[in-house]
Amino acid sequence: MPPLWFLVGRFLAAGVLMAALALVLKRPFPRRPNDWLAYAALGVFANAAYLGLTYAALSRGLAAGIASIVASTNPLILALIAPRLLGEPLTRNKLLGMLLGFGGVVGVMLARTGTETARPEDVGLALLGVTANVASTILFKRAQGSNDLLAINTIQLLAAGLVLIPAATLIYGGPRVELSSAVVASFLYLVLILSVGASLLWFWLLSRGAASRVSAFYFLTPIFGIFFGALFLGESVGPGDGIGLVAVALGIVLVQRN
């Protein structure tokens, strides 16, 4: 299945599932049109733009290791702009933790990519996606509408799926898929675990903590990728990976401290 059509199906399926759950549980949806627009924009930034641009960069040949490094700039960008836009102070511990966590990710990924390079335009696409994701975090923290997470995620996922349809049609034509057990299993996992479960958890964390602190957990993404690769794909794990994991863990601990 073309990657953007895969995202369309994923977001719409998750959005419909959340909508049904929200209606059954009688959860309150926003009453003001402006709030609907804000949460729809949240989906466009957090899902459609972030994942769409990242998928596009990867499909153009961007190395997975480089993409992981670019994705890990999210907490750094957010920490730099949060003092002005969210009133979250950039303390010495927080800055040191961000740099330590990012350094751990870079060390692990560069050791694995070897001499592999990335074209500037592909890195730019991925970085633009990260910037969109940072914008979604700022938007959520500043939103003044309904705070019901089921309602918010229903709106943002449906908006993300719908806004990607024109782009997917323009690039790939109509949707097409070759069904297999792997495709079905991957789709169900991404819909249920990530778009439903992880989205609810992510916004729940954001609603209860400083955005710059919560975003520090992005540093764990490539680290988990390494160990899942070893578990499911038989990829090797070396001493350098352990050192990088320690650096990431220490960085997160520092970020969480006052």
φ, ψ for residue 160, nearest 5 deg: -65, -45
CB 188, CB 14: distance < 8 Å? no
The first and second tokens of residue 116, run together, are 């592999």
For residue 113, how many C-alpha atoms fall within 13 Å in the half-sphere facing its CB? 19
What one-letter code names the amino acid at 198?
A
Packing angle, helices 181-189 and 3-24, rounded to 10: 50
Helix, coil or strand: residue 32? coil
- Number of structural domains (the chain) is 1
> pLDDT (tens digit, 0 to 9) for every residue of the chain, 258 residues total?
888 999 999 999 999 999 999 999 999 888 888 889 989 998 999 899 998 998 888 888 777 767 777 787 787 777 778 777 777 677 777 777 777 777 777 776 666 555 455 678 888 888 899 899 989 888 888 876 667 888 989 999 999 999 999 999 998 899 888 989 988 999 999 999 999 998 888 888 888 777 767 777 777 777 777 777 778 777 677 776 677 777 777 777 776 665
| Apex 117 CA angle, 114 and 119, nearest 5 | 165
SS3 at position 143: coil
User: What is the domain range of residue 196?
Assistant: 3-256
pLDDT at res. 115: 44
The Cα-based distances of 45 to 81, 190, 239 in angstroms read 17, 18, 37
- For residue 172, the Cα-to-chain-centroid distance in whole angstroms is 24
